[in-house]
Chain A
Amino acid sequence: MDIFATLKPAAFHILLALAERDLHGYAVMQAVRQQSGGSIPLQTGSFYRHLSTLIDEGLVIEAPAPKGDDDPRRGAYYRVTARGRQALAAEQARLTGLVARMKKLNLGAK
């Protein structure tokens, strides 16, 4: 995948949540729901579809479980790859550019 292409909002939020630290599936879902303030209506079905796409594209990999968590029911932990961080950086650059352009328009002041 072209890592400089625009990320889908849900994928972006997932990467962002994982960039902070390794998380298991449900924790990622919860983090995205909080980060996006509910604007990304992530359900189990849609979340795992996004996740599998991110894994297939090499942006996320499975990570070993941290010490102290040996609950077999929680499912795997996930981690952002270097490529994933590049994609986030590219997104940052894109968004920064957009924000800079918007600032010039001075939309906030009224």
Chain B
Amino acid sequence: MDFYVFLLRLYPRGFRERFGAGMRRAFAQDLAAATARGPFSRATFLAASAIHAVWFGTLERLPRGPVMRSFFQFDLRAASRSLRATPIVTAVALVSLALGIGANTALFSILNSLVLKPLPVRAPEELVRIDDGSWTNPIWEGIRNQAPTFTAGAFAWSATSFNLAKEGEVDRVDGAYASGDVFQTLGVTAAIGRLFTSADDTRAFGPDGPVAVLSYRLWQQRFGGDPSVIGRSLLIERHPFTVVGVMPSSFEGVDIGRVSDVIIPVSTDAWINGKDTALDSRTSWWLEIWMRLPSGKTIDEVTLALNAARPGIRDATLPKEWPAKFQDRYLKDPFKLVPSATGDSALRPRYAQPLTVILFVVGAVLVIACANIANLLLARATARRHEMSVRLALGASRARLARQLLAESLILATAGGLMGLAVAQFASRLLVGQLATSVSTVTLDLSPDWRMLAFTAAVSFGTAILFGLAPALGVSRVAPNEALREQSRSVTGDRRFGVRSALVIAQVALSLSLVVAAGLFMRSFVSLTTQPLGFDPSNLLVTTVDMRQSAATPAERRALYERIRDAVASVPGIRHSAISQITPVGGSSWNGQGKVEGGLEVSGKAAEYWVNPVSPGWFETYGMRLLAGRDVAATDTETAEQVVVVNETFAKRFIGGGNPIGRVMIADADFPEARRVRIVGLVSDAVYRNSRAGIYATAYFPFLQGGGVSSSFRISSNIATDRPSARRALASALTQVDGRLSYSFRDLSDQVRASMAQERLVAMLSGFFGALALLLAGIGLYGVTSYAVNQRRTEIAVRIALGATATSVVRMVLGRTGWLVATGVIIGAGLSYWAAKFVGALLFGLTPRDPMTLAMALVALASIGVLAAWLPARRAARMDPSSALRD
């Protein structure tokens, strides 16, 4: 039904208001009848309704005058009749268009919702955000207190996830901490209940106690849309919150690509996290700060006002324990505001560029498809030369004939565009499903908006011109007297062959670039997946344990950690297990700067190393080799000598290679907490963040010397049994230690796969569209070669009759096509060379002008070209000259 409301928009407003209700009812009843007849009837009915709406909606918008009437009632009708007369050509053209336009629209709709769509809030263009990451709560409070003087509202936002489970394994939903004025500033009002305000955002809570706001989606999914959810208690991180309201379905938070299902006030962090709260920390950077520009004020004016307030805010929030150098930078660093009408998204930096590249790829595929349709229509126009010349002879104007051919293209493009919209609805959802990984979900609002419709309309119209112009111009070359010599045979062929050859050359050139691009992306992906990780993820199960809700105080956590460690060690079905703060490709990281005494002089980026506190046996669990020295040991406690195990890259970076055992490393060299640590072991290299980032210089500290046992850590288990029973065994072991622990499981191999999601997506899509381009170019070549062979039938027959061998005929035909392919390939190689600079950033392990890939693409195109030309060539060589000459 929404579909028809949407179609009704095609009618002028007055008409819609007058008849809308009746039309909706008529549509609903006919739809019900069609649905009862079966799914095919239903689909046909929906398609027909869409076409009718476009047709009659347009008619109603036009003045009821004679000129329009002539175009709409005669030209378009004649065009649609003639299209129906050649159903196969029309169907092929429509399917190519629907797929081409659909793929383009699908990608555009993803880019649209990711990058272009403004947030569904009041006056989104007034929203700005302090650039570059997150800020501490003290800074936010400082800004909040001053904001009323220079903004029309400000709020803090921190995207996170919340555990809604009562006990045991976590039940995570995406959510956010937001400051009290978030909804007022954004101008969002509740679907039901109320949204929280600054009165709720205090550590003593508001009148309703600790409150939470739900997304419309969560309300529907978990509470069945039951309005009695208001006032109910909801456990968030095992703390009872009162649900006070549900956000409207349009607003799902300020992060694009993720739905904030649960939003709670910033100050409730003190309640949830107790002593670990980030509220008073001057070094916990977790809040994004958003503002609304007052009307009439520019972003520069507000930036100026904000920075005028900066010294006071910075002074009051200075991290006292920092070294002077950092404090100085902290005080001087200015605030920068960026326009944020389209919200914020972690997906943008990751996917905006690959999706743009793919959008160009599908654009090129559409152009190639258009060339094929143009060729098809040209062939059709040639077959209709007789009809055209008769009509010219009878007095029709050339303009009239051209108008009808344009009308045909217009109908094809409009129908193709409508079908493309339907394809896009399906394809874009499929694509978004591919963006999500086992590790993170992606939710994008893909509902059609005016941008998407304008894009589709522009693409459809553009394609109509692309494939419709050549046949329409061809009409002007038809001579009236041609009707008289329709049966004559020509030896020279057809002038329009030139146009068709040019089209094929363009197709070959474009598809070569696409095949090169596909080759580059696929080889990047292969080299990424074959990159050694340095460990074997296949049997590794990672358990994240969160001790925050256990009864243990921070001081008692060490004992709890040891109990957990011992309990996990005795779980059956686990070969090895060990604990670490960080797991490879797990998404979190920890780095520091330092040096090794008597080692190389390093500074800046080169002095950077990456930290992972691990328990004994961690290397064994991951299958990493100890090359020298020893593993961290159970005796490496807080009071023992500070030690560290480093990897090969670390040894190379800081001492230039060789055996580092016994050397002293200065960790966190620039900070007051700098400490001297003895290197006791050397392990083989392993990936820290992801394969693309490569191997980092890594320092593995003993878990207990890693700055205290923090509230959560990860257990890596090398399992010998199946995953579900390992999970069950681990869960029951953890619950036995402390029923209030929360934990979640993740397979390391899933995480490794997720870390390559972007490359996989690009490789998959470019491979698919590259193959499609190759296929389309092949069809184009085949079509144009068959046509040429048909045109030269007489000539070839004469040659055969005069004694030409089959081989020489094949060679002649292939030579002609070879010339087309060669020209196209040269242009395409140039095109690839030029386009290379745009894809460099997306490649891994090869240069954008990789000669090997180009060679492979050349071979692929040449093979397709030979195959496409060989089929008609063989037919020509086998032709019976006497029958050909008799015709």
Stretch at the interface among B16-24, B295-303, B412-420: B16-24
Closest residue of B by beta carbon distance from A25: B22
The 3 lowest CB-CB distance pairs between A and B, nearest first, are: A75-B22, A25-B22, A45-B52
* Inter-chain contacts of B56 with A (CB < 8 A): 45-46, 48-49
Closest beta carbon of chain A to B73's beta carbon, Å: 12
B21/A26 in contact, CB under 8 A: no
Stretch at the interface among B26-34, B394-402, B531-539: B26-34
Within 8 A of A (CB), among B611-659: none
Residues of B within 8 A of A47 (CB): 26
Chain A residues 21-58 with CB under 8 Å of chain B are 24-26, 29, 43-49, 51-52
The contact of B22 among A43, A45, A49, A74, by CB within 8 Å, is A74
* Inter-subunit contact A75/B19 (CB<8 Å): yes
B779 at the interface (CB under 8 A from A): no
| Interface check A73, CB cutoff 8 A | yes
Is A72 at the interface (CB under 8 A from chain B)?
yes
Indicate whether A76 reaches chain B with its CB closer than 8 angstroms: yes
Residues from chain B with Cβ under 8 Å of A72 in the complex: 21
Chain B residues, CB < 8 A from A29: 26
Please indicate the chain A residues that have their CB under 8 angstroms from the CB of B841 in the complex: none
Tell me the complex Cα distance, A48–B29, Å. Answer: 15
| Residue of B19, B26, B48 ringed by the most chain A CB atoms within 10 A | B26
B21 contacts A75, C-beta separation under 8 Å: yes
B-side contacts of A43, CB under 8 Å:
30, 48-49, 52
Bound: A71/B689 CA distance, A? 63
B328 within 8 A of A: no
Known contacts A25-B26, A29-B26, A52-B60; A46/B21 CB under 8 A: no
A48 and B19 in contact, given A43-B48, A43-B52 (Cβ under 8 angstroms): yes
B 45-59 to A, binary, CB cutoff 8 A, 1 in contact else 0: 000110011011101
Q: Is the CB of B52 within 8 A of A25?
A: no
B57 to chain A, nearest CB (A): 8
Once bound together, how far apart are the Cα atoms of A13 and B223, in whole Å?
52
Contact A51–B19 (Cβ < 8 Å): yes
Query: Are B60 and A75 closer than 8 Å at their CB atoms?
Result: no
Contacts of A52 in B (CB 8 A): 15, 18-19, 60
Is B25 part of the contact surface with A, judged by Cβ < 8 Å?
Answer: yes
Complex Cα distance A39/B578, Å? Answer: 80
Chain A nearest Cβ from B76, distance in angstroms: 14
In this complex, the member of B22, B49, B57 whose beta carbon has the largest number of chain A beta carbons within 10 angstroms is B22
Majority secondary structure of chain B interface residues (helix, strand, loop or mixed):
helix
Bound CA span A29–B33, Å: 14
Contacts A29-B26, A49-B59, A74-B22 known; 13 new A-B pairs at CB < 8 A:
A26-B29, A43-B48, A44-B23, A45-B49, A46-B52, A47-B26, A48-B15, A48-B56, A52-B18, A73-B21, A73-B25, A74-B25, A75-B24
Cα of A51 to Cα of B55 in the assembled complex, Å: 16
Distance in angstroms from B368 CB to nearest chain A CB is 35
Given contacts A43-B48, A44-B26, A75-B25, contact A25 B19 (CB under 8 A): yes
Given A45-B53, A46-B56, A49-B59, verify A25-B23 contact (CB < 8 Å): yes
Q: Do residues A76 and B22 form an inter-chain contact, with CB atoms below 8 A? A: yes
Chain A residues whose CB sits within 8 angstroms of the CB of B48 once the complex forms: 43
Q: Is the CB of A44 within 8 A of B21?
A: no
- The CA of A46 and the CA of B55, in the complex, are separated in Å by 9
Q: Count A interface residues, CB 8 Å.
A: 18
Knowing A25-B23, A29-B26, A74-B25 touch, does A44 contact B18 (C-beta < 8 A)? no
* Shortest beta-carbon distance from A46 to chain B in Å: 7
Residues of A within 8 A of B (CB): 24-26, 29, 43-49, 51-52, 72-76
B57 contact set on A, CB distance < 8 A: 45
Given A25-B26, A29-B26, verify A45-B21 contact (CB < 8 Å).
no
Q: Which residue of A lies closest to B22 (CB)?
A: A75
Q: Which residues of chain B come closer than 8 Å to A45, judged between CB atoms?
A: 49, 52-53, 55-57
A44 to B, closest residue via Cβ: B26
Residues of A close to B24: CB separation below 8 A: 73, 75
Minimum distance in angstroms from A52 CB to a CB of chain B? 7
Alpha-carbon gap, A52 to B25, bound state (A): 17
Measured CA separation A71–B60 after assembly (Å): 27
Residues of chain A lying within 8 A (CB to CB) of residue B20? 75
Residues of chain B contacted by A51 (CB below 8 angstroms): 19
Closest A residue to B21 using CB positions? A75
Is A26 in contact with B59, judged by CB distance below 8 angstroms? no
Task: For the complex formed, measure the closest distance between the CB of A61 and the CB atoms of chain B, giving whole angstroms.
Answer: 12
Q: A residues within 8 A CB of B27?
A: 44
Q: How far is the CA of A48 from the CA of B55 in the complex (A)?
A: 12
> A75 CA to B19 CA in the complex, in Å?
7
- Interchain CA distance A73-B49 in the complex, whole Å: 19
Output the least CB separation between B54 and chain A (Å): 9
Return chain A residues, CB-CB under 8 Å to B26. 25-26, 29, 44, 47, 75
Q: How far is the CA of A48 from the CA of B16 in the complex (A)?
A: 10
B137 to chain A, nearest CB (A): 53
Assess A44 versus B30: contact at CB under 8 Å? Given A49-B60, A75-B21: yes
Alpha-carbon separation in the docked complex, A73 to B48 (Å):
23
- A-chain residues with CB within 8 Å of residue B18 when the two chains form the complex: 52
Chain B nearest CB: distance from A9 CB in Å? 16
In the bound assembly, the distance between CA atoms of A48 and B60 in angstroms comes to 10
A81 to chain B, nearest CB (A): 17
Q: How far is the CB of B467 from chain A (nearest CB, A)?
A: 27
Contacts of A48 in B (CB 8 A): 15, 19, 22-23, 56
Chain B residues within an 8 Å CB radius of A25: 19, 22-23, 25-26
The docked-state distance in angstroms from the alpha carbon of A43 to that of B46 is 12
B153 to chain A, nearest CB (A): 40
Chain A residues whose CB sits within 8 angstroms of the CB of B59 once the complex forms: 49
Q: How far is the CB of B887 from chain A (nearest CB, A)?
A: 43
A65: shortest Cβ distance to chain B, in Å?
A: 12
| Residues of chain A within 8 A of B52, CB atoms compared | 43-46
CA distance A56 to B23 in the complex (A): 18
- The CA-CA distance from A46 to B48 in the complex, in Å, is 12
Q: Would you list 17 pairs from A and B whose C-beta atoms are within 8 A, ordered by A residue?
A: A25-B22, A25-B26, A26-B26, A26-B29, A43-B49, A43-B52, A44-B27, A44-B49, A44-B52, A46-B56, A48-B15, A48-B19, A49-B56, A72-B21, A74-B25, A75-B19, A76-B22
Q: Tell me which residues across on chain B come within 8 A of A75, comparing CB atoms.
A: 19-26
Q: In the complex the two chains form, what is the Cα distance from A44 to B53 in whole Å?
A: 9
Residues of A within 8 A of B30 (CB): 43-44
Residues in B with CB closer than 8 Å to A49 are: 56, 59-60
A42 to chain B, nearest CB (A): 10
Residues on A with C-beta less than 8 A from B15 are 48, 52
- How far apart sit A43 and B48, CA to CA, in the bound complex (Å)? 9
